[in-house]
Amino acid sequence: MRVKNRFTPWLFSMPALAVYLFVVLIPVVWTICLSFFQWDGIAPMKFAGSGNLQKLVGDQTFRKAVINNLKFTCISTCYQFTVGMALAVILSSVSRGRNLLKVIYFIPCIIATVALSQIFIKLLALEPMGVFNIVIGKLGFQPRSFLGSPKTSLVTLAMVDGYKYCGIYMVIFYSAFLSVSQDVLDAAMIDGCGFFNQYRYIKIPMIKDICGLVLVMLINGTLKSFEMPYVLTNGGPGTSSEMVATYMYKSAFSSMKYGYSSAIAVFLLMECLLAVSLLRKAVAAGGGE
C-alpha cells in the first residue's frame, strides 16, 4: 500500500508533465541546439559553432531591438503597474457601480490582440484622420502619425499594450487589497489614519509580496512582447519599434535563418531569466529589510 501511495501522485502528474515536456522542455532544448547551426529549413544543417552568437554582437538591427525592448519594458511596466494600482484603489473605494467598473476596466483584456491593434490603428491614423487626431486637432494641437513617426511609435506602442493588460493587474491588486484585515484598517481609522495614509502606510506595505509578483509578471511579459508590436508597427518605421521577439520572427520566417533566429531566442530566454532572477533577489532583499 505504501508503494502504491508513493506512485499515486506521479500518476496524476503524468499528463501535466507530458505536456510540459513536449511543449516546453523539448522545444527549448531543440532551440538551443539549433542556435549552433546554420539552416534555412530545406538544405542540410551546417554546424556554425558560436558563429550565430558572434553575428548577434555585430548586428546593428539586433542591438537596436534590444535597446527598444528595454525602453518598452521600462515604459510599459511603469504604466501598467501604476494604472493597475490606481484602478484597484478606485474599485476598493467605491460602493455603487463597482461591478460595472470591473467589467469596463477588464474588457480590453478579453479582446483579441489583433482586433484591438486594428482598432487603435484606425483611431491613431493620420490618413484618413482617426478619432484621436480629430480630437487633438479640435483642441488646437497639430495632428500627427503616432505609429508612423520614429519619435512616437515606441511610446505609443507601450501605451496601447498597457491599455490592454492593465485590467489584469487591477484584478490582482484589488484582490490583494481585499485580503488586508479589516480589523487593522478599523484600528488605523480610530487612530486618525486618513484615506491616502491607509494605502501609504498599511495596505501597500502589506501587499509588498504581491507587488513583487506583479513586477516579475510585467517584466517577463514585456521582454517577450510580440503580438502587439508585430501587428501595430511591425517594427517600424525603420527599426524604431523593433523588438527582440519580432526580429526573431522575421529572421526565422522572412529571412529563413532558423539557426540565427534560434540564437536570438536563446538570448531572449537568458535575458528573461536574468531579469526575473535579479528582480526576485531585489524583492527578497527589500522584504528582509
- pLDDT (tens digit, 9 = 90+) per residue, 11-67? 888 999 999 999 999 999 999 999 999 998 888 999 998 899 899 988 999 999 999
Give the domain ranges of the chain. Answer: 59-288
Which residue, among 198, 178, 171, 154, has the nearest Cα to 84 in the 3D structure? 171
Residue that has been written with the C-alpha cell 506512485 in this structure: 7
Mean pLDDT of 151-164: 93
Q: Say what the pLDDT of residue 156 is.
A: 94
pLDDT digits (tens, 9 = 90+) for 137-155: 898 888 888 999 999 999 9
Q: What is the pLDDT of residues 200-214, one digit of tens each?
A: 888 888 998 899 999
Tens digits of per-residue pLDDT, 102-132?
A: 888 889 999 999 999 999 999 999 888 889 9
**pTM (global) more than 0.95:** no
In contact, 34 and 259? CB cutoff 8 Å: yes
Across the chain, what does the average pLDDT equal? 89
- Nearest Cα neighbor of 222 from 145, 159, 151 is 159
Split at pLDDT 50, 70, 90, the class of 163 is very high
> Sorting pLDDT into bands at 50, 70 and 90, what band is 1?
very low
Is residue 1 packed enough to be buried (19+ CB in 10 Å), middle (13-18) or exposed (0-12)? exposed
Q: Where do runs of H (alpha helix) occur along the chain?
A: 2-20, 26-34, 51-58, 60-93, 98-110, 113-123, 131-138, 153-178, 182-190, 195-198, 204-206, 208-223, 227-232, 244-253, 258-288
Percent of the chain with pLDDT over 90: 60
Give the model's pLDDT for residue 102.
85
CATH topology of domain 59-288: MetI-like fold (1.10.3720)
Neighbouring CB atoms inside 10 A of 170's CB total: 25
